[in-house]
């Protein structure tokens, strides 16, 4: 589904991501782990186009996408939840999901561009789609609540619902479990399992090795911008380079 070949990006002469090659098969959960500053978030931004690469190629569903802007890659089926993404305060859960969708329908786009009031029927359709996404992540009952009053675990589920509204085939999640405690982590893990079962492919950044090796079919390990290991969770756990990278931090 996704092939990244020799992708590189430097900041001020230092490689945040240097010559990274990896591929993700349709239907798999692929974990990306590595110490802080390893280049994980930068790699995601290169894949989605939010950051241009200095070098390298990216193929998604058989198409070269590395020259495409983020919204074109999104339309092809990539959706990202950024590290530390926040919900909009002063809006309900449903409104949080709807905000990102208004520019998606042609009528919505034209109305937004011309600053026309949107058609009621469009608004209803968007609300209906938002509710379907909320249902998928188990937040249907919370749709009318203030988003910032949700527990943190459910705010993460809300971010997932927003990402799902773009109808992605590949979902990129940057540390979705950070700051979550036991029960919340378990619920998030179950949710990722369900999304995979429904046919989504998932690229998942996670700091906690135990958490990601449980969920992922395959794990890619980054350190100092380079891939230092790529294999099954069992292989990763036994890899001396991985242990060294983590113990050395």
Interface with ligand ADP by CB under 6 A: which range of 38-46, 62-70, 163-171, 196-204? Answer: 38-46
Site membership for ligand ADP, residue 198 (CB under 6 A) = no
User: Strand pairing partners for 64?
Assistant: 59
CB of 6 to ligand ADP, least distance (A): 17
Instruction: Using the CB atoms, write b or e for 206-228: b if 16+ within 10 Å.
Output: bbebebbbebbebbbbbbbbebb
CB of 144 to ligand ADP, least distance (A): 35
The residue with tokens 């527990």 is 151
Task: Categorise residue 107: left if φ over 0, alpha if ψ from -120 to 50, beta otherwise.
Answer: alpha
> Which one, 196 or 207, has the nearer CB to Mg ion?
207
User: Judged by CB under 6 A, which of 1, 4, 7, 16 binds ligand ADP?
Assistant: 16
User: Judged by CB under 6 A, which of 41, 96, 201, 213 binds ligand ADP?
Assistant: 41
Site membership for ligand ADP, residue 42 (CB under 6 A) = yes
Binding-site ranges for Mg ion (CB under 5 A): 40-41, 83
Instruction: Using the CB atoms, write b or e for 169-195: b if 16+ within 10 Å.
Output: bbbbbbbbbeebeeebbebbbebbeeb
Q: What tokens appear for 158 in the block?
A: 């809300």
User: Judged by CB under 6 A, which of 18, 31, 34, 56 binds ligand ADP?
Assistant: 34
Angle at which helix 120-136 crosses helix 106-114, to 10 degrees, equals 120
CB of 59 to ligand ADP, least distance (A): 22
Nearest Cα to Cα of residue 218 among 6, 16, 12, 31:
31
Measured distance CA(43)–CA(47) in Å, rounded: 6
Interface with ligand ADP by CB under 6 A: which range of 19-27, 29-37, 54-62, 165-173? Answer: 29-37
User: Judged by CB under 6 A, which of 18, 31, 33, 39 binds ligand ADP?
Assistant: 39
Site membership for ligand ADP, residue 155 (CB under 6 A) = no
Site membership for ligand ADP, residue 37 (CB under 6 A) = yes
Give me the residues that bind ligand ADP (CB under 6 A), please.
11, 16, 34, 36-42
């Amino acid at each position: 589904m996704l092939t990244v070949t020799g992708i590189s990006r430097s900041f001020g002469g230092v490689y945040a991501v240097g010559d990274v090659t990896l591929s993700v098969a349709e239907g798999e959960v692929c974990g990306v782990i590595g110490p802080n500053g390893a280049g994980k978030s930068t790699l995601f931004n290169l894949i989605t186009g939010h950051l241009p690469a200095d070098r390298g190629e990216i193929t998604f569903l058989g198409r070269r996408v590395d020259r495409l802007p983020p919204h074109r890659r999104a339309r092809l089926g990539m959706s990202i939840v950024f590290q530390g993404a926040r919900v909009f305060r002063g809006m309900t859960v449903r409104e949080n999901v709807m905000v990102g969708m208004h520019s998606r329908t042609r009528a919505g786009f034209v109305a937004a561009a011309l600053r026309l009031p949107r058609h009621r029927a469009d608004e209803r359709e968007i609300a209906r789609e938002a509710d379907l996404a909320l249902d998928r992540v188990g937040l249907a009952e919370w749709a009318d609540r203030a988003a910032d009053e949700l527990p943190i675990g459910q705010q993460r589920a809300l971010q997932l619902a927003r990402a799902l509204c773009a109808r992605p085939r590949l979902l990129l999640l940057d540390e979705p479990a950070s700051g979550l405690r036991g029960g919340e982590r378990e619920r998030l893990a179950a949710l990722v399992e369900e999304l995979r079962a429904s046919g989504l492919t998932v690229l998942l950044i996670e700091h906690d090795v135990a958490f990601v090796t449980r969920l992922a079919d395959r794990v890619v390990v980054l350190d100092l911008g380079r891939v230092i290991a790529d294999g099954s969770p069992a292989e990763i756990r036994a890899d001396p380079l991985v242990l060294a990278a983590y113990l050395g931090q």
